Structure 1
Amino acid sequence: MSKLPNITTSIFSVMSQLANEHGAINLSQGFPNFPVDERLLQISERLIRENIHQYTPMAGLPSLLEKIAALTLKQYQRNINTATEMLVTAGATQGVFTAINTFVNKGDEVLILDPSYDSYEPSVLVAGGIPVRISLNDDYSPNFNRIEAALSSKTKMIVINNPHNPTGRIWTNAEFEALELLLEKHPKVLILGDEVYEYISFSHPHISFHTRPKLMERTIIASSFGKSLHVTGWKVGYLIAPEKLMAEMKKVHQFLVFSVNSFSQHAISEYLDVVDFNEISKMYRQKRDLFQSLIKNSSFELMPCDGTYFQVVNYTKISTMNDVDFARELITKHGVAAIPISVFYNDATDRHMLRFCFAKTDETLIAAAEKLNSIMK
């Protein structure tokens, strides 16, 4: 009997395969198509011949843990105990899976805010939990009336992705305060903060759970070097949580992957001495601004993009077709691949929105924009 009977091939794979078949420009999957930093390549070339290819300690390479602690202190003014509050994971997705499967038991409910990244619900289902999907407002802000109505004695956890994939929205301070007020009534509910795009913010600074003292003791924060350093194929992320929570997650992690790729940990540890995360955010801001400027006069309506490397557009002026079919037609007729937003909703809410990934070379974005600008109703 399948634990995931309703899970089929992901929309990301479907759209990428279709893009390959039709030679379309792929702005669907969320990974960069430009080279990694030359400095990281030089570090990697040197390290590959060193004696670093055996298991690291289960929780992570000690030097990397120290660098992460220093980064967290610099960015968020939060002191982390590397021995008890941190865990290097095989990508943030494994971190999310570990967190959910550590604390969610059969029948526990987990609140997920839609549109939501597609790994949350399967992780809950494998744990035997019950996903409770709650739609955000039309502007993708949290609807606290709906969240409050969904909270109950069965609620074990709420998953909050900020900056948000797929919409690119960032929570405001007022929204965090509303969450704090609401969760005061539910002291046992845990928070899983998916902050993999934390270093890619534009319109206003990303507010992290690291900076919320009222929530910190119940929050597990997932981060991603794959996203932050545009090395998604290295699959290295990390979790930060209070000791009482981390101790339990380490038990699951130990028998899930034990330890993460040693070479990647060594290379990232050295690279953190030279990389400037502000420059990374600046680079993505330039790409967002370029992409927006290129298609601002098209028939697509640009939605706000506060962070991440995703741009959501509305295509109502072009077609009344549902977003999945329109995304397919965009590939087959116009040569550009995107992701329909309805697939991120439990009820397939369709507001005629598509998600484009602008983590691409300028040449790719210019070529894609030329095709998008030619599309008329």
Structure 2
Amino acid sequence: MAPATADQDAGGNGRTLAYGAAFAEALGQVMESDPDVFVAGEDVGRAGGVFGSFRGLHERFGDMRVVDTPISEQAIVGLGTGAAVSGLRPVVDLMFMDFILVAMDQIANQAAKLKYMFGGKATLPMTITTSAGAGLSAAAQHSQSLEAMLCHIPGLKVVMPSNPHDAKGLLISCIRDDNPTVFVKHKRLLGLQGSVPPDMYEVPLGAANIVRAGDDVTVVTYGRMVHETLSAADALDAEGIGCEVIDLRTLQPLDIDTVVEAVRRTGRVAVVHEAVRFGGLGGEIASQIAEAAFDYLDAPIERIGAPFSPVPFSPALEQMWVPSAATIGERIRSLAAA
């Protein structure tokens, strides 16, 4: 699928929204247009969600469509799975990405497998929303990025938008999709301002976005790391190193065609993610690049991720743990010289 360009993504008519507000606007517009859509999760109703992402929806749609649930992730995803297979379009929220582990049987063995087990005759249009990432000193049990685990499960689609425009468009696409989708917000991006059109629109699932052009190194990334990478690219540009930055947006299905096409132009590639480097999505992306574009590579593929440890609680240690623009820049500088 051809990637959208930055120009295609900028049509907000001068209107800006925060990432979290764009998420809430998308959800409200879809609920207005489709009575089969409802929301369920811990504190999504009167409290508006732990980070305010669902604020205002309960006042508009009431208890029947914005449902506060008990503290049971198994029950939340089970509710969503049953509702979806019965013809509704549930959006179920798991407060923190860490908590998907509590509901993995429902996610991996029930929701993801149902369409296959019924020979494609059933649909399961459920969207799971959750918040991931470090940076708030939320410690080891509330700061993980576990997207690689979800991408390993056939039957799921996984998105991780980096900006308000994509947050709105990808959420609408997820809710309208007839398969189980996981929409991952990064907690540190919820206040990020960006151009967002007021009308409903979709950002297609499975389409990466080239957010910066460059001739020397291709950098593949997503989520919060898009912004760290762009900062690094700005600094490297002053040194004469041009970085082409690709925001994957959708992690499963992966737009590897856009990545490979870029790598064939530059001959050098780095993959950046906040998740722990070992076993992270960067390994899969690097493998697919090697399979499809090995003859075009002028240097080994660089993988940049967090060290193999739990996320520290200490703000100073946490800042060191998360890949930064400085760290990314240093690794890309070495790659360009290889």
Please give the range of the TM-score, normalised by the shorter of the 2 chains. 0.3 to 0.5
Structure number with the bigger relative contact order (C-alpha 8 A, sep ≥ 6) is 1
- Please give the TM-score of this superposition, normalised by the length of structure 1: 0.34
Structure ID, larger Rg: 1
